[in-house]
Amino acid sequence: MKTGLYFGSFNPVHIGHLAIANYIYEYSHLDEIWFVISPHNPLKQKSSLLADHHRLRLVEIAIGDDQRFRISDIESKLPRPSYTIDTLAHLKEKYPQRQFALIMGSDNLLTINKWKNADILLNSCKIFVYPRKNKGRKPVPDVKSMLRTADIEIVNAPEIEISGTFIRSAIRDGKDLRHFLPPGVWQYIRDMHFYE
């Protein structure tokens, strides 16, 4: 079983996340994709991050009964801060029959040298990389050398410029973004008055 791990804060999950997961599933040999809800990215500010259980619920609503996708809250059960290398080791131990791959945006790949044990991570599984706006940034020499031995597949997915930051800011400004989010996700956010 080939399982793609799509890590993210999903704060909130939006149609861009779903489009990327959909594309990678359909244009790769993965058998399933797990949305791995990150409790807090050590490289990001925590200020407007919804509680783990709310973000988990939003992803549950978003994927509904789509059998291609699953949700994992594994990182909320591991010591914090969470690091991808530790989560991956834990998942490999728990599910030895699965072959895990990472799914990440090209912007993350450019800064992977800042990740814990990045060199080991890059050589421990296949990595699917989808395009993100990088504003002409190029990998630093450390990253270039790390990538030489990594099993990376660049996925020609559409570049989606929707971000959680934009959505949170727009909601705070009173904008109606119902078409940027799955309907149930939009309703849940409205009902709970998130990001207002």
In a domain? residue 171: no
CATH label of the domain that carries residue 60: 3.40.50.620
Q: What is the DSSP string of 91-150?
A: HHHH-TT-EEEEEEEHHHHHTGGGSTTHHHHHTTSEEEEE----TT----HHHHHHHTTS
pLDDT of residue 64: 97
In a domain? residue 174: no
Residue 44 has pLDDT above 70, yes or no: no
132: pLDDT confidence band, cut at 50, 70 and 90? confident
pLDDT of residue 16: 97
Domain that holds residue 86: 2-160
pLDDT of residue 184: 98
pLDDT of residue 10: 97
The per-residue pLDDT of the chain, averaged, comes to: 92
Neighbour-count burial for 3-30, b at 16+ CB within 10 Å, e otherwise: bbbbbbbbbbbbbbbbebbbbbbeebeb
End-to-end CA distance of the chain: 41
pLDDT, tens digit, 9 for 90 and up, residues 57-98 = 999 999 999 999 999 999 999 998 889 999 999 999 999 999
- pTM of the complete model: 0.92
In a domain? residue 46: yes
d(CA 131, CA 158): 7
Name the domain count of the chain: 1
Residue 138 has pLDDT above 90, yes or no: no
- State both tokens at 53: 């259980």
Cβ-Cβ contacts under 8 Å for 29 (sequence gap 6 or more): 2
